[in-house]
Amino acid sequence: MAAQVFIHNKVFVPFISAEAIGQRIAEIGAKINENYAGKSPLLIGILNGSFIFAADLFRELTIDAEISFVKLASYAGTATTGQVVTAIGLKENIEGRHVIIVEDIIDTGKTLSSFLPELHKMRPASVKIATLLTKPDALKYPVAADYCAFEIENKFVVGYGLDYDGLGRNLPALFILKDRNDDKINATI
Ligand code: IMP
Ligand code: MG
């Protein structure tokens, strides 16, 4: 793995290896195979960030399963919530279906906390959330992942589908923003 990568004007250092990611996804896939046997779930990946995680997770499934993707559009509307999120591109009729939302990361939880009520209006049989990452210290809205590969500290990460200003999604592993203090810490060791 590269010792560090430069994206725009920032430095990112190795955080979680491709092997570690693959191992956790295999574990989550096995749990989904067990929990959804005979249920033919529909995975809904949230674009853009989830596309690599969704592809790898989907290939761990040995049960009947379908996959679709949506983009979420936010409007600063006059609704009391201040934000309305709609799904672009959800063509499937999800009524009565077992849905698994696939996200790259739950940060504040704002995106999913707005999207979940919209999804429930379509009367699915069940909705669970699979996410590659959660940042528990950043959570501001009540969203809980049912399947989470890694809980991480409240720092910015890139790679494996996640971007910094459009770049970094193609990195095969996860990289984390380098702290200004990292060099000082290393210098004292
Ligand atoms: P939330 O609505 O605050 O939970 O934010 C979720 C979205 O913010 C994710 O789907 C990502 O697109 C983006 N995001 C949050 N934290 C990071 C990060 O550390 N790296 C890259 N994107 C992030
Ligand atoms: Mg995203």
165 belongs to a structural domain: no
**Is the C-alpha dihedral spanning 90, 87, 67, 170 positive or negative?**
positive
- Collapsing DSSP to helix, strand or coil, 125 comes out as coil
Question: What's residue 2's pLDDT?
Answer: 80
176 belongs to a structural domain: no
Residue 76 has pLDDT above 70, yes or no: no
170 belongs to a structural domain: no
54 belongs to a structural domain: yes
Q: Are 53 and 22 in contact (CB under 8 A)?
A: no
188 belongs to a structural domain: no
109 belongs to a structural domain: yes
165 is catalytic: no
Q: What angle do CA 166, 167, 172 make, to 5 degrees?
A: 130
1 belongs to a structural domain: no
Between the CA of 37 and the centroid of ligand 1 the distance, in Å, is 31
Q: Model confidence over 100-111: pLDDT tens digits? A: 999 999 999 999
Between the CA of 3 and the centroid of ligand 2 the distance, in Å, is 25
Percentage above 90 pLDDT, the chain: 80
- List the domain range (segments joined by +) for residue 135: 20-152
Q: Model confidence over 106-127: pLDDT tens digits? A: 999 999 998 999 899 999 999 9
Work out the mean pLDDT of the chain and round it to a whole number: 91
- Domain containing residue 89: CATH number: 3.40.50.2020
Please name the residue whose Cα sits nearest to atom 5 of ligand 1.
107
**Domain count across the chain:** 1
Given the residues 56, 64, 104, 107, select the one marked as catalytic: 107
